[in-house]
Amino acid sequence: MNHTLPDVVILTLATVNDQIAHLSEVFTNILLERGLLGSQLFPVNAYISLACYNTYETQYEIMKQVWDRISPEELAKQSKTLLSEIHALSITYQWLYYGLGRMGVIFNQCDNDPPKEPKEKQQEWQYLLEQWYRLATHYFNSGKATVESAGYMNQAFPEKALTWLQDHLDAVNPNQISDIRKIIGAVDLYAFMEECEARAKIIEHGPYILDREEVLIVTEYTHLYDGDSKLWLPWSETEAQLPSSTLGVGMTLRDIKAKAIDVGTISLDPAEYGDHVTGVVAYTKKGEKIRSLGLDELPAYAEAANAAQEELFLRFAEWDKRQRLIAGAKAYMRGFARFTNQVGITDSIEWELTPHVMEEYVPYFMEHDGDNAFARMFRPPEERAKDPTFYWLPD
């Protein structure tokens, strides 16, 4: 691969390696929180591995085109809005997929010896981490680079957005809360299924600490199939169409503990939070403007989501393992389209898996559920402290 890397270095090597060690622990903590992913339908861990190897080969070329057109700081500024497709999860894409792909290459092909990685790839990784760091520290209100380092708070909305949400809150009774939770569950399942059983369409923001001992939690969905928007994935089209391609639902809750993590999920304590909800706001995007939704408009989302989810399940059930493996990897790679969309180059990007990945890795992951390099994630803390999961860059 022939390309020219920028001359400007934003972070020192020592700082980059500090971030690599930090991100390694962030990922370990995510695993402890969520565990490895499993599915009866998709080979999830295998297709994640496949996608990460493909990311290792292609992310630099894709993101270099983005960063040539917009600075990380400007993109962060533009993305601090309701229903943005750049958020904590998509920002995590910037380090997680390449980091895992690089880990696999060093572990399996470089004799577990980072200096054996090609110098060009080391330079790519440093460049990508520099841009990620600039984006993240300007996106999050904390100025920190990760949700974890901000005290497990996923906060990016400005005061104007928070005021709008609070101004549009509706009081709800227990029956309404129960119905709304079912609606959210239906949209979750559909969005999860369309992404080959991944949460890429779903992001949870917050907690935002409000007055009266309340917190605000916001769940947002983007790239839902509404029949009008461009297909997000080749298999996205269904007879059932959601009322809009975006949906946001915010809730205020009292007397509850909330913890966000870097893959865009929030855990609540107590988990059965229905009795703690004090208000709900729903909204969508009309053009560039946010439009509030009446709570009576939400059941239409659940009805369409349930029908679309069933269509997708039946479609996927007819596929063989190879089709599901490749589809899952493509869905993961599509996450980077959230960035190319911002600069209008998505249609010019090659989103297929590379010939090398198809030839070398698809046969392997047809026979294996994961990568041997994953063992690095489960080493004792003292070993990870000396040798981070994602490997330091060599001097």
- Are 100 and 164 found together in one domain? no
pLDDT for position 229 = 86
Q: What is the pTM of this model?
A: 0.94
pLDDT exceeding 70 applies to what percent of the chain?
96
Looking at residue 304, the DSSP 8-state letter turns out to be H
Angle between helices 44-67 and 88-109 (to 10 degrees): 110
**Token pair of 65, please?**
């085109």
Whether residue 211 sits in one domain with residue 96: no
Residue 262 one-letter amino acid: D
Does residue 394 sit within a domain? no
State yes or no: pLDDT of 212 exceeds 90. Answer: no
Q: CB neighbours of 71 closer than 8 A, spacing ≥ 6?
A: 134
Domain membership flag for residue 68: yes
Helices then strands, each counted (H, E), the chain? 12, 7
Judged against a pLDDT cut of 80, whether residue 194 lies above it is answered with: yes
Assigned domain for 34 exists:
yes
Q: Is the pLDDT of residue 69 over 90?
A: yes
**Banded pLDDT at 9 (limits 50, 70, 90):** very low
pLDDT bracket for residue 258 (50, 70, 90): very high
Segment 232-249, tens digit of pLDDT: 999 999 999 999 999 999
**Does 366 lie in the same domain as 270?**
no
Q: For 340-344, what is the mean pLDDT? A: 98
Token pair of 27, please?
């990922």
Residues 286 and 311 in one domain: yes
Boundary of a domain, candidates 269, 287, 317 = 317
Nearest to 134 by CA among 16, 251, 40: 16
Given a cut of 60, is residue 36 above it in pLDDT? no
Say if residue 142 is in the same domain as residue 202. Answer: no
**What's the pLDDT score for residue 122?**
96
In a domain? residue 228: yes
Q: What is the DSSP letter of 222?
A: -
- The total domain count for the chain is 2
Task: Find the domain containing 297 and state its range.
Answer: 159-317
Are 238 and 147 part of one and the same domain? no
The answer on 305 and 328 residing in a single domain is: no
CA distances (Å), origin 359, targets 39, 47, 355: 25, 15, 6
Give CA–CA dist 35/151, Å, rounded. 21
How much is the mean pLDDT over the chain?
94
4 belongs to a structural domain: no
Q: How far is CA 192 from CA 32, 241, 244, 271, in A?
A: 21, 16, 17, 20
Distances (CA, A) of 134 to 60, 308, 383: 16, 38, 29
List of long-range contacts for 313-321, beta carbons under 8 Å, 24+ apart = 313/41, 313/193, 315/235, 316/41, 316/42, 316/193, 316/196, 316/235, 317/41, 321/43, 321/366
Binned at pLDDT 50, 70 and 90, residue 5 comes out as very low
Same domain assignment for residues 278 and 362: no
One domain, residues 138 and 91: yes
Q: Are residues 165 and 312 in the same domain?
A: yes
Query: Is 249 part of a structural domain of the chain?
Result: yes
Q: Clarify whether residues 347 and 251 are in a common domain.
A: no
Same domain assignment for residues 163 and 304: yes
Segment 9-21 shows an average pLDDT of: 88
pLDDT of amino acid 34: 65
Pairing mode, strands 257-260 and 247-254: unpaired
- Asked whether residue 7 carries a pLDDT value surpassing 50, the answer given is no
